Amino acid sequence: MKVLVFIKRVVDYNVRVKVRPDGSGVDTDGVKMSINPFDEIALEEALRMREAGQADEVIVVSAGTSDCQQQLRTGLAMGADRAIQIDTDKPLQPLTAARAFQALVEQQQPGVVLLGKQAIDDDNNQTGQMLAALWGRPQATNAAKIELSGDTARVTREVDAGLEVLDIDLPAVITTDLRLNTPRFVKLPDIMKAKKKPLDVVALDGLVSDAGNDLKIGNWSPPPQRGKGIMVDDVAGLVTELKSRGLL
């Protein structure tokens, strides 16, 4: 069985992002970039499936300019067998990404598709769901535990009310949550091995005919600065204050 893992190149979670003064987006000049942490968890899970003998090939895929080959190489150094870069110089919105991923999924015929539940740059939490719908296969999002058996998977999901357990047929799309696993560190010799593993490049418009984004982004601005706090005398004062602001 093949496992396909989609990984996104995003601004490292340690970086305090700044909005460009002209409001055209977030400043990424000279900023450290990494694999989206949720996607790293997805990749780790795929590697564990292979190590447990449940999968025989792990393929990492990323969409972006050749810059994202850096993250693909990291994925290969972590242990993926091969990599595919979907080449595009446009930032992809979830639906466009899902369409491209669907085309690739149909070419590669994986048994499991893993993605992070969301990317920490835009926090959309949509691509996995859209991909499953387009592909017409089951989905389980926010996975905290995945158990494969034959052609089904039991996925424990983290939901607001606690845990929910789903049995789904494979092939399926599973999106991963924070507590699923702790990704391994790369080993130095594997960095060298990763250089020799196959990395194919396919053009975005070779996968989707109309790769245009459907949403128009107007303007970016930083969140408003936090206002000054006030001191209240007692609980009653606090309640009054909250009510007067329509917060209670």
Determine the Cα–Cα distance for residues 103 and 87; give it in Å rounded to an integer.
Answer: 14
Determine the Cα–Cα distance for residues 118 and 209; give it in Å rounded to an integer.
Answer: 25
Per-position x/- string for 124-163, each x denoting binding to other proteins as judged by CB under 8 A, each - no binding: ----------------------------------------
Stretch binding other proteins (CB under 8 A), from 25-33, 43-51, 145-153, 230-238:
25-33
Stretch binding other proteins (CB under 8 A), from 9-17, 112-120, 152-160, 217-225:
9-17
Q: Does the footprint of other proteins cover residue 243 (CB under 8 A)?
A: no
Determine the Cα–Cα distance for residues 86 and 9; give it in Å rounded to an integer.
Answer: 12
Q: Which of 70, 124, 72 is nearest to 98 (CA)?
A: 124
Residue that has been written with the tokens 């290969």 in this structure: 76
Stretch binding other proteins (CB under 8 A), from 27-35, 56-64, 172-180, 240-248:
27-35
User: Where do runs of H (alpha helix) occur along the chain?
Assistant: 37-51, 69-78, 94-108, 127-135, 188-196, 204-207, 235-244
Among 70, 124, 152, 213, binds other proteins (CB under 8 A): 70
User: What is the DSSP annotation of 100-152?
Assistant: HHHHHHHHH--SEEEEESS-TTT----HHHHHHHHHT--EEEEEEEEEEETTE
Neighbouring C-beta atoms of residue 124, cutoff 10 Å = 14
Among 53, 162, 189, 229, binds other proteins (CB under 8 A): 189
Q: Does the footprint of other proteins cover residue 26 (CB under 8 A)?
A: no
Stretch binding other proteins (CB under 8 A), from 22-30, 54-62, 153-161, 235-243:
22-30
Among 24, 51, 56, 187, binds other proteins (CB under 8 A): 187
From residue 58, alpha-carbon distances to 110, 111, 145, 170 in Å are: 9, 11, 19, 16
Residues 6+ apart with CB under 8 A from 126: 94, 95, 98, 118
Q: Does the footprint of other proteins cover residue 9 (CB under 8 A)?
A: no
Among 1, 27, 95, 124, binds other proteins (CB under 8 A): 27
Q: How many chain residues are in contact with other proteins, going by CB under 8 A? A: 21
Among 77, 80, 86, 104, binds other proteins (CB under 8 A): 77
Among 32, 90, 179, 243, binds other proteins (CB under 8 A): 32
Q: Which helix (H) or strand (E) holds 203?
A: strand 199-203
* Least Å from the CB of residue 216 to other proteins: 26
Q: Does the footprint of other proteins cover residue 225 (CB under 8 A)?
A: no
Footprint on this chain of other proteins (rule: CB under 8 A): 12, 14-16, 27, 29-30, 32, 70, 73-74, 77, 185-189, 191-192, 194-195
